[in-house]
Amino acid sequence: GENVEQHPSTLSVQEGDSAVIKCTYSDSASNYFPWYKQELGKGPQLIIDIRSNVGEKKDQRIAVTLNKTAKHFSLHITETQPEDSAVYFCAASPAGKSTFGDGTTLTVKP
| Min CB(34)–another protein separation in Å | 7
Task: Decide whether 62 or 78 has the Cβ nearer to another protein.
Answer: 62
Is 92 in contact with 2 (CB distance < 8 Å)?
yes
| Min CB(103)–another protein separation in Å | 5
Site for another protein, rule CB under 8 A = 32, 34, 36, 41-46, 49, 51, 89, 93, 97-103, 105
| Min CB(16)–another protein separation in Å | 27
Task: Decide whether 4 or 19 has the Cβ nearer to another protein.
Answer: 4
Task: Decide whether 78 or 107 has the Cβ nearer to another protein.
Answer: 107
Beta-strand ranges (E) seen in 1-110 are 4-7, 10-14, 19-25, 32-38, 45-51, 56-59, 62-67, 72-77, 86-92, 99-100, 104-109
